[in-house]
Every structure is written in C-alpha cells, then in structure tokens.
Amino acid sequence: MSTAYQIVVCGSVVPDPLQTLEPVNGPSGPALKNEMMLPAILDPWAAHALYEAAHLAQTAPGSKVWLVSLGPKAKLQQVLMTIAQKVLFEFIALDGPASGFTDAAEVAALLAESIQAIPGLDRSKLLLFGGWESASRGAGATLQMVGERLGIADQFQGVDELKANPDGTLEILERIEGGRQQVSSCAGPPALLGWATGRLPEPRNNPHVGMINMRTVMPGLQKAKPVKLSGNGLTFAEVSLPKKLRETRIVKDKPPEDIAREIADWIRAYSNARSR
Amino acid sequence: MTLMETILFLAHTEADGSLAKPALEALAAAKTLARALADAKLAAGLVGGQVQPAADQIARSGAARFLAVAGADFAQSRYASDAAAIEALCKASQATLIIAPATSRWNRVAPGAAQRLGGAVDTHVAGIAVAGGAVSVNRWYYRQRLEAVLRRAQRPWFIVVDPGGQAPYEGATAAAPVEMIPVNLPESCKRTSVTGLRQPAPDAQTIRPGADLLFVAGAGWTKKQADGQLHVKEAEKLILDCLRLTRASLGGSKSLVDLGSEGQAVLGFLTHLNQIGQTGSTPRHPKGLAACCHGEEPHTVGWRFVNERRAINLDPNCGWARGKADVLYVADAFRVIAKVNELLAQSGNSGDV
C-alpha cells in the first residue's frame, strides 16, 4: 500500500541570473538596484524541489503539494504565471521581501507559521521540501530552521534522489564531498529534504494544469499576508561587487604546439614549486 | 561594552578519528579570532565515533578545553544525532561564537542547531575579521556575485567557514585531556540511518576537491567542429586523458550538463555533481583551465575562487575569459589539449600537479 504524502515546498523568487546585479543602500539595509524591475524566476533549486514534489505526489495517490512563498506579491504573481502551468500545487503566499539580505531565521519563522496554519496538515504525512540553497542568500539555512520550528528531526540536504519504499520507509541520496553521495534510510515522514538538482527535467508548460492551479494561486495572492522583517540584529557593514577585473593576456596566432607547451609548463610549475 | 567571547571550534571527526583539512582550516580561523579578541577563550568541541585522535592532533592549538560527544550513535553523518551533540557541546562550553568547517555534514546541521539554541548562523563564510572588538564576517550573496561584510549582535553565533580560504592548522600531536559530554539519544533521533555511500570507481572519479587544477569543460566540446562534424567521443577521451595526467578536478558549465535532458550529445562522465556556476558549485583550486566555455558574468562565477585562470577558446572576445582569466588562448581546444596531454605524458605526469 502506498503512503499518501502532504508535501510542502518552500521556495521564492530570485532575480533572473542573466541580469546585472548592483547593490544599493535602501532604507532597511542593502538591496539590489532596481530590484522590483528585475525579471524574476522561481529559485532554481526550489523549482527542482517543486518538480520532485509533484512527481512524488503523482506516484502516491492521495498526496497533495503546497508551495509556500515569501516575496513581493507582484513578483510572485509574475513568476507564478509560468510555474503554475508546470505542476499541480496549492499556493500560499506571504507578501514581503525576497531579498538575499534578509535574515534566514526571520524568514524561517514566517514560513513555519504559515505551514502550521495549513488546514488539516498531518505531521505523520508531512514532507517538507525546498532548495538546499537559494540563489539569493545562498546560505542553505532557512529550511533547517523551519524544520526545527516544526519539530522535524530527520533532515537531508543536497538531495538528488528520494525513493519511497512500499513499507513506508524513504531512501534518500544526498550530495557529500568529492562527488560522492550518502545513502540514508529514514523511517518515513515527517522529514525535510533540501533538494539539489534532483533527477527530473523541467516539466513542459501545460495550460490545463495552469487553469487548475489558478483556482488557488489568485486567491492565495489576494490573501497574502503582508510581513515586515526587522533584521534580527544583523548589520551589513558593506555590500559590494567584486572589484577585481583581470588583465587578460590574449594569445592568438600561435601554433597549438606552442600554446600547449606554455600550458603544460604552467600546469607543471605549481607542482614543482610545491615540491621544493 | 565589549562582550567577552567564548569561541568553540566545532568539528566532526573522520572514520579514523582524525580531523580532515577543512576542520583544520576552521581551527586556524578560530585561533586567529581568539588572538584578535581580548580575553576570548578558545575551546574545542568534537563529535564522532572516536575523538581522541582528533583531540591529540590539535592538543597544542591553544584550546583550553577539549569537549566531545562520541560513540557509535555519533559516527554517522545524521541530522538528529549531530544536532543533539552540537546542542550539548555548545551548552557545556557556553560558547558565544562557534567556528565550524563547511562540510556537507555541518552544512546540514549547523543552521538547525543555531535555531535550537536561539542563536544565529552564517554559512559559506569566506573571512572573519575583528575591528574595535567587534567580529565581522564576509560572505557572498546572489551566487558569488555580491560580497558583503556583516556583523551580528545575537549569540551564540555559528560561523561556518568555507574550505580553501586559509592555511590549515599545523601543530605537534600530544595527549589531550578530553571531557566527554554525555548525550542520551532518544529513539526518535534514530529514525534515520546511513546505509552507504555511492561513489564512482577510483579511475572514474572526476571531482577532486583537493586538486591543484580545476579543468572546466564548456559546451563547445559537444558542438560541430571545423569539419562540420561532432567529435564527442574524441572530446571525452581528451578530457579524461587530461584529468588522468593532471589529477585535476572536472567542472562543467550548466549548458553542458543540461544537454543530456535536451536530447543532445553529451560527455558521458559529466553529471550535475560536476556543475559549477550559478546553480552548481564554486570550488576553490589554485589553478583553473577552462576550455570551450562561453558566457558572461553570471556563468563565470564557477571559477570565482580559482586563483590562477587560463582559458582556451576560439572567440577572442569570449566573456568567460576576458577580464576573468589571466590568459586567453585563442585556439582549437581539441588540438591544444591533445598536445598538452602528449607533453604531460612525456614528462611522466601521473599525480597531482
């Protein structure tokens, strides 16, 4: 008998990675220049988590997926127009900053509160998903703090694969050092999984899925609770772009043999220096 | 008034009870911090199946106390037992600043432990500084595209230090007195067990965090070459030969890794684990050689922490290299790497370069 899961995915919006980013000082601390004008996408690793959640829900009848997002309502709406066409989920929004400069603990407190308020949430079926790091703060910290607040002691990060066994146990593959992966067996939900890339490609847009999702996305956005973050004692002394631009020596019109010799000498030079 | 800080160097041991290089680098950071702060106390907190070898390894580090949670329950890299151990060590040491290495094990658990202790956490820390008695850390935001210096008033403050940023601690081994902190792990913390590791065969391993050279392969390797044909098998052989001869670590651009899901020709040995950049890793290596890589700033963050960088590309204006690399060779990577391999083979290269 397969287990029905309640899968809650935490994930928000980030600026499209192809955009130029420039820091500015805002009234409440550092921010990105023209942040609200930058095109946004769903955080890449959170998107993988969402696709994995939807895939798992499809294979376990009776399962349901929620997407919980903290971000500016306008940005969430923009991104959801696309994401909502990919997989089925119910949307829960918090209207607040999605900036990387917010404090993970504060964000975690708000997300945990929203998850606890989901009607009919059953901890014995709960799988909490998200990206293992965001493309904004990139700390890999928020999800664990949400898990702590929800009392989830079985947590996994850098997850590439989840296998739900017929006996209810979960087999989880996590990335560790040196290109290796750790295999763990967990007794079952509740569990928390911070996803890395996973195994699934990005689903194609499906207008039918979009139509179904819009029944909860639009009300979710309308009901989005406005939230403010205080900073939690975090002070930014400086935020800057990396200044160093290298003087690149361009080598052209040289035979491949000469270039190869230069590269081989350069490669060998380090080992010679180290062995002296 | 400046707070008198108690610094806890927090590490997990390896299977043989020793400390790995990232832990020794974090210890060096903790020692430097302790020296910079007036009246700061330094303690060591160890977690693992066995801890005495590690304690002896750092006996002369200046730590005033060596606290440990040890035993079979703590040998595994498991969130629930690690969080319980860290909680006990932090309480026993009354630590205000916790310096830990950014290993996969500690990255998984440190934020949760900070939450449990009512503290704060900063991960992927690239540097720690002290000015006027105040501690600040620097770390990157937006996938290594913006750098920030920040301070926190909240304690305890977990500072998880990325490896490769500084020289590891070195000191003579001696017998260290270890204070064992008892932790009775409830059954609820044993719902997960580590059942194994998956790793490529030694001759197929292409990710080597300790390598001196990072070889970055771009999508150009799988595109049509000057003769209008694909040469993917040849590209695979050239790259694998280069990795074998240099013992380099292999990084791949997202576009190259993603080609498989788009039904295009791929390098068979390249996986998402090799991916560097915006949605991959940003490894630290002394040298980096990129071949057939394209793209502007967002894509180049993959080698931001590589010290010396060279690139081979047919395009002299390639955004991946211009202003990012020290040298850009405008040439056919197939021909150049073939010759490089030949030269390295002649000189008998077979180990870390």
3-state helix, strand, coil in chain A (%, to 5): 35, 30, 40
Instruction: Write out residues 53-72 of A within 8 Å (CB-CB) of B.
Output: none
Q: What SS3 state is found at B320?
A: coil
Residue B295, phi-psi category: left (phi > 0), alpha (psi -120 to 50), beta (remainder): left
Mean model confidence pLDDT for chain B: 91
Distance CA B353, CA B339 (A): 17
Buried b vs exposed e over B86-95: b needs ≥16 C-beta within 10 Å? bbbbbebbeb
Distance CA A218, CA A210 (A): 11
Give chain A positions within 8 Å (CB) of B123: 139-141
Which chain B residue has the Cα nearest residue A23? Answer: B146
What kind and span of H or E run contains A161? strand A155-164
Which chain A residue has the Cα nearest residue B123? Answer: A139
Give chain B positions within 8 Å (CB) of A186: 191-192
Q: Does the interface ipTM go beyond 0.90?
A: yes
CA distances from A27 to A24, A30, A31, A33, A190 (A): 10, 8, 9, 13, 40
Mutation site, B253, B261, B279, interface A, largest A CB count within 10 A:
B279
Mean model confidence pLDDT for chain A: 93
Mean predicted confidence (pLDDT) in B14-29: 97
Q: Residue B54's pLDDT is what?
A: 98
Q: Where exactly are the structural domains of chain B?
A: 6-189, 202-346
pLDDT tops 80 at residue A219: yes
Q: Grade residue A148 by pLDDT with cuts at 50, 70 and 90.
A: very high
Residue B131: both structure tokens together: 């000015």
What is the rounded end-to-end Cα distance, in angstroms, of chain B? 50
Would you say A51 and A86 are in contact if contact means Cβ atoms under 8 Å apart? yes
Distance CA B62, CA B44 (A): 9
- Segment B253-293, tens digit of pLDDT: 776 777 666 667 678 888 878 888 777 788 888 999 999 88
Q: Residue A276's pLDDT is what?
A: 42
CA distances from B325 to B201, B278, B311, B313 (A): 32, 18, 7, 12
Any idea of the CA torsion for B85, B90, B92, B93, to the nearest 10 degrees?
140
3-state secondary structure labels for all residues of B159-204: EEECCCCCCCCCCCCCCCCEEECCCCCCHHHCCEEEEEEECCCHHH
B331 vs A173, A187, A259: nearest CB? A259
Answer with the residue of higher pLDDT: B2 or B294.
B294
Q: Residue B298's pLDDT is what?
A: 61
- Segment A235-255, tens digit of pLDDT: 999 999 987 788 999 999 999
In chain A, the domains with their CATH numbers are 6-226 (3.40.50.620)
Instruction: Write out residues 148-187 of B within 8 Å (CB-CB) of A.
Output: 148-154
CATH number among 3.40.50.620, 3.30.750.24, 3.30.9.60, 3.30.2130.10, domain B6-189: 3.40.50.620
Q: What SS3 state is found at A5?
A: coil
Percent of chain A past pLDDT 90, that is, above it, reads 86
Distance CA B290, CA B268 (A): 19
Q: Grade residue B208 by pLDDT with cuts at 50, 70 and 90.
A: confident
Q: Residue B350's pLDDT is what?
A: 54
- Segment B320-337, tens digit of pLDDT: 788 889 999 999 999 999
Q: Is B145 on the interface with A (CB under 8 A)?
A: yes
Least confident among A207-216, B32-41, B201-210, B330-339: B201-210
B195 vs A157, A185, A187: nearest CB? A185
Least confident among A103-117, B44-58, B68-82, B131-145: B131-145
pLDDT tops 50 at residue B353: no
Q: Assign a CATH topology to domain B202-346.
A: Rossmann fold (3.40.50)
Mean predicted confidence (pLDDT) in B84-95: 98
Q: Classify burial at A28, counting beta carbons within 10 Å of its beta carbon; exposed 0-12, middle 13-18, buried 19 or more.
A: middle
Give chain B positions within 8 Å (CB) of A148: 112, 115-116
B287/A175 CB distance under 8 A:
no
**Is the preceding omega at residue A190 within 30 degrees of 0, hence cis?**
yes
pTM reported for the whole predicted model: 0.89
If you write DSSP's letter for every residue of B47-66 in order, what string do you get? EES--HHHHHHTTTS--SEE
Q: Residue B2's pLDDT is what?
A: 59
**Is the preceding omega at residue B156 within 30 degrees of 0, hence cis?**
yes
Mean predicted confidence (pLDDT) in B103-118: 98
Q: Residue B296's pLDDT is what?
A: 65
Q: At what angle do helices B79-93 and B104-116 cross, to 10 degrees?
A: 60
Mean predicted confidence (pLDDT) in A98-117: 97
B152 vs A23, A234, A245: nearest CB? A234
Distance CA B31, CA A60 (A): 51
**B202-346 matches B6-189 in CATH topology:** yes
Buried b vs exposed e over B166-179: b needs ≥16 C-beta within 10 Å? bebbeeeeeebebe
Give chain B positions within 8 Å (CB) of A43: none
